[in-house]
């Protein structure tokens, strides 16, 4: 859509007020895709509006199948032993688990039955107590939950999952206005072209402010003003905490390859493609890895952001240069999956035009956006940063 067809000029009339209720969210980023890469993407993703300034959503997780254990000695045939694991919450009575067999001589088993659980302590015995004793466990050994077994004649086992985690997010308000005097002798300098220029400056600022907030804002509620508390949403950086790759002065190909494997873990895969909002410094680091087996190609864009595509095995990542990260977080990148991020609008982005205020002797134009940022399944995403 051409800017002129949206932001047209209307003569100021002190006897009436006009408010245009069209959703201008997409128009905000027209011509500024290179500067607002995240907001441009969010404005093109369908999302359900939120009903209040605070919205909640529940996210359940598949419990991890692995944990680590502290060292224990082997036990005799039929005996039980205490096995302390790092994540006891993901195990329940009746689980069949497997631990590496340190003896590997046929006198011990590496598959154990969880008799009971207390916190992080699992009471286990050999899965076949008549034949084998329990294996010795090395410090830090990996414990894998193979399956959950139900005894014959039993009425089921305790659930291994818990209630879904409920996340609470805040909706944030963005406003940008400009005013011109409506005194006739002063108003002549604010002709149509001049007001169009001022309006476009505010449109630009409104989009840039949202871009930075969507990345860096920290969720907080200021209730000091009880009548109208100020709520601020959480940005992408605050919500991406699961997968973090920290590298030194330069990014190593093995570091990036291992990180890509973590991001595409089977239970959280979401497919083999990702988008990476990256600073210019990080994109330069990735380009240097082309000699280490990383397939690299530039994508042609017309007046849009700088995009390059890399392929490591069957994993394809699109790296998009983010001016906000370049300016504020050099060397960093945010790996995202568009399916799991949403912009939750509270109100349509409105453009208010020719709002008359007799007391201030001014004609006001401006943009108002009220929305919150939602991230789901953060395990499918991640963050790259310099140490």
Q: For residue range 166-178, list pLDDT tens digits in order.
A: 899 999 999 998 8
Closest to 113 (Cα-Cα) out of 128, 130, 131: 128
Closest to 285 (Cα-Cα) out of 334, 336, 331: 331
Closest to 379 (Cα-Cα) out of 128, 190, 165: 165
Q: Are residues 70 and 53 in the same domain?
A: no
Closest to 73 (Cα-Cα) out of 142, 132, 138: 138
pTM across the whole model: 0.80
Instruction: Tell me, yes or no, whether 93 lies in a domain.
Output: yes
Radius of gyration (C-alpha) of the chain in whole angstroms:
28
Higher-confidence residue: 16 or 157?
A: 157
pLDDT computed for residue 36 by the predictor:
96
- Where is 111: in which H helix or E strand? strand 111-118
pLDDT computed for residue 196 by the predictor:
84
Q: Are residues 182 and 135 in the same domain?
A: no
DSSP secondary structure code for residue 34 in this structure: T
> Is residue 124 within 8 Å of 160, Cβ to Cβ?
no
Examine the pLDDT at 13 and tell me if it is beyond 90: no
79-117 per-position pLDDT tens digit = 899 999 998 888 888 899 998 766 555 566 788 999 999
Domain CATH number, residue 276: 3.90.1690
Instruction: Tell me, yes or no, whether 153 lies in a domain.
Output: no
Q: Are residues 46 and 70 in the same domain?
A: no
Domain CATH number, residue 132: 2.40.30
pLDDT computed for residue 206 by the predictor:
96
pLDDT computed for residue 4 by the predictor:
40
Residue where a domain stops, chosen among 116, 148, 180: 148
User: Could you count the other beta carbons within 10 Å of the beta carbon of residue 85?
Assistant: 24
131-147 per-position pLDDT tens digit = 778 878 888 888 999 98
Q: Are residues 279 and 356 in the same domain?
A: yes
**In terms of residue numbers, what domain contains 38?**
3-60+167-386
Q: Are residues 37 and 178 in the same domain?
A: yes
User: Could you count the other beta carbons within 10 Å of the beta carbon of residue 238?
Assistant: 16
Examine the pLDDT at 321 and tell me if it is beyond 60: yes
pLDDT over 90 for what percent of the chain?
Answer: 41
Instruction: Tell me, yes or no, whether 252 lies in a domain.
Output: yes
What Cα–Cα distance (Å) separates residue 217 from each residue in 169, 172, 232, 237, 241?
Answer: 12, 10, 7, 8, 15
Q: Are residues 41 and 185 in the same domain?
A: yes
pLDDT over 70 for what percent of the chain?
Answer: 87
Instruction: Tell me, yes or no, whether 155 lies in a domain.
Output: no
Closest to 361 (Cα-Cα) out of 185, 182, 179: 182
Instruction: Tell me, yes or no, whether 104 lies in a domain.
Output: yes
Instruction: Tell me, yes or no, whether 156 lies in a domain.
Output: no
Q: Are residues 231 and 295 in the same domain?
A: yes
| Reported confidence tier of residue 185, pLDDT bands at 50, 70, 90 | low
- Number of domains, the chain: 2
Q: Are residues 174 and 138 in the same domain?
A: no
Highest mean pLDDT, choosing among 53-62, 295-304, 321-330: 321-330
pLDDT computed for residue 10 by the predictor:
45
pLDDT computed for residue 3 by the predictor:
39
Q: Are residues 45 and 72 in the same domain?
A: no
Query: Which residue shows structure tokens 């370049």?
Result: 326
Q: Are residues 50 and 88 in the same domain?
A: no
> Is residue 102 within 8 Å of 109, Cβ to Cβ?
no
Higher-confidence residue: 233 or 127?
A: 233
């Amino acid at each position: 859509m051409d800017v002129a067809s949206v932001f047209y000029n209307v003569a100021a009339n002190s006897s009436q007020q006009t408010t245009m209720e069209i959703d201008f969210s997409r128009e905000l980023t027209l011509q500024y895709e290179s500067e607002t890469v995240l907001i441009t993407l969010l404005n093109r993703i369908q999302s359900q509006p939120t009903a209040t300034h605070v919205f909640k959503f529940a996210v359940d997780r598949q419990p991890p199948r692995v944990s680590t254990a502290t060292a224990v000695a082997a036990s005799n045939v039929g005996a039980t032993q205490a096995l302390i694991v790092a994540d006891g919450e993901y195990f329940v009575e009746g689980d069949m688990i497997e631990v590496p067999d340190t003896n590997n001589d046929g006198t011990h088993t590496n598959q154990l039955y969880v008799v009971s659980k207390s916190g992080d302590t699992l009471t286990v015995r050999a899965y076949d107590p008549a034949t084998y004793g329990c294996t010795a466990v090395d410090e830090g050994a990996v414990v894998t939950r193979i399956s959950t077994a139900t005894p014959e004649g039993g009425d089921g086992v305790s659930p291994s999952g818990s209630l879904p985690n409920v996340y609470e997010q805040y909706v944030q308000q963005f406003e940008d206005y400009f005013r011109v005097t409506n005194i006739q002798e002063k108003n002549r300098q604010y002709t149509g072209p001049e007001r169009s220029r001022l309006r476009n400056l505010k449109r630009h600022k409104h989009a840039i402010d949202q871009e930075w907030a969507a990345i860096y804002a920290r969720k907080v509620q200021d209730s000091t003003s009880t009548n109208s508390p100020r709520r601020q949403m959480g940005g992408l950086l605050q919500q991406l905490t699961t997968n973090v790759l920290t590298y030194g002065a330069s990014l190593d190909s093995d570091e990036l390859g291992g990180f890509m494997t973590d991001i595409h873990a089977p239970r959280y895969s979401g497919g083999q493609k990702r988008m990476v909002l990256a600073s210019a410094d990080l994109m330069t680091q990735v380009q240097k890895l082309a000699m280490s087996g990383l397939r690299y190609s530039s994508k042609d864009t017309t007046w849009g952001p700088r995009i390059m595509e890399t392929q490591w095995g069957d994993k394809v990542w699109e790296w998009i240069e983010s001016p906000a990260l370049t300016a504020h977080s050099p060397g960093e990148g945010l790996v995202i999956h568009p399916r799991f991020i949403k912009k939750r609008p509270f109100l349509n982005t409105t453009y208010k035009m020719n709002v008359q205020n007799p007391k201030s002797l001014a004609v006001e134009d401006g943009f108002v956006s009220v929305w919150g940022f939602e991230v789901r399944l953060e395990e499918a995403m991640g963050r790259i940063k310099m140490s």
